[in-house]
């Protein structure tokens, strides 16, 4: 499993209805994309749910890294480049993924939590501090995935910047007790390979 997301931040007075129409008209184009686990077409609107910006921020979980590479440079991503320029594409290696009780419902919201991993998480000098920290996060993800409104919960790592990313799809508003750095509205979900996403840890 591989996670990918790009944030397109738009002007403060941007009409987000344009993005809504874009997704309504073209969102289904990836509904049968080979190698794709899911794509959540998510937005944030300035002044709503504490968002400081207008933003279009599609999020992907890929089952096939080759299919992801083809999407970026061989066909699919050109529409984003044409309309918005070429954004920075963040990517993370999958650590764990869990279906929630609301997996069969259409998710209404999503949350993302970005957490830096301490530079020295290894107080015992065994070399196992990082593994222990990740294991705690995996256990937390497993517990979160039992929430009645969770559709899918995923955890991934960026080993360049040593950062963890937790992304959760929700059937309803994101819970106020969820520690999220961003909260999104889901406009559409393409999920051709949802059943093929790993359950539990990715190794």
pLDDT tens-digit readout, 2-59: 999 999 999 999 999 999 999 999 999 999 999 999 999 999 999 998 899 999 999 9
Q: What is the pTM of this model?
A: 0.95
At residue 36, φ and ψ (nearest 5 deg) are: -90, 125
Q: For residue 110, give the H/E element and its range.
A: strand 109-116
Q: Output DSSP code: residue 16.
A: T
Determine what percent of the chain falls in helix, strand and coil, rounding each to the nearest 5.
25, 35, 40
Query: CB–CB of 103/153 below 8 Å?
Result: no
- The candidate with the shortest Cα–Cα distance to 36, out of 78, 64, 57, 55, is 64
């Amino acid at each position: 499993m591989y996670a990918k997301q790009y944030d397109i931040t738009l002007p403060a007075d941007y009409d987000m209805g344009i993005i809504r129409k874009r997704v309504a008209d073209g969102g289904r184009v990836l509904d049968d994309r080979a190698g794709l686990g899911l794509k959540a077409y998510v937005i944030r609107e300035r002044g709503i749910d504490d968002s400081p910006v207008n933003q279009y921020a599609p999020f992907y979980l890929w089952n096939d890294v080759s299919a992801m590479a083809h999407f970026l440079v061989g066909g699919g991503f050109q529409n984003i480049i044409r309309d918005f320029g070429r954004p920075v594409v963040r990517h993370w290696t999958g650590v764990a993924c869990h279906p929630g009780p609301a997996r069969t419902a259409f998710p209404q919201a999503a949350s993302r939590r970005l957490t830096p991993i301490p530079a020295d998480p290894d107080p015992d000098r065994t070399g196992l501090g990082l593994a222990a920290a990740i294991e705690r996060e995996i256990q937390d993800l497993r517990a979160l995935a039992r929430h009645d409104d969770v559709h899918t919960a995923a955890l991934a790592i960026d080993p360049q910047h040593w950062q963890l990313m937790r992304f959760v799809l929700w059937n309803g508003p994101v819970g106020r007790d969820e520690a999220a750095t961003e909260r999104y509205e889901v406009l559409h979900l393409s999920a051709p390979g949802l059943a093929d996403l790993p359950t539990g840890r990715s190794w």
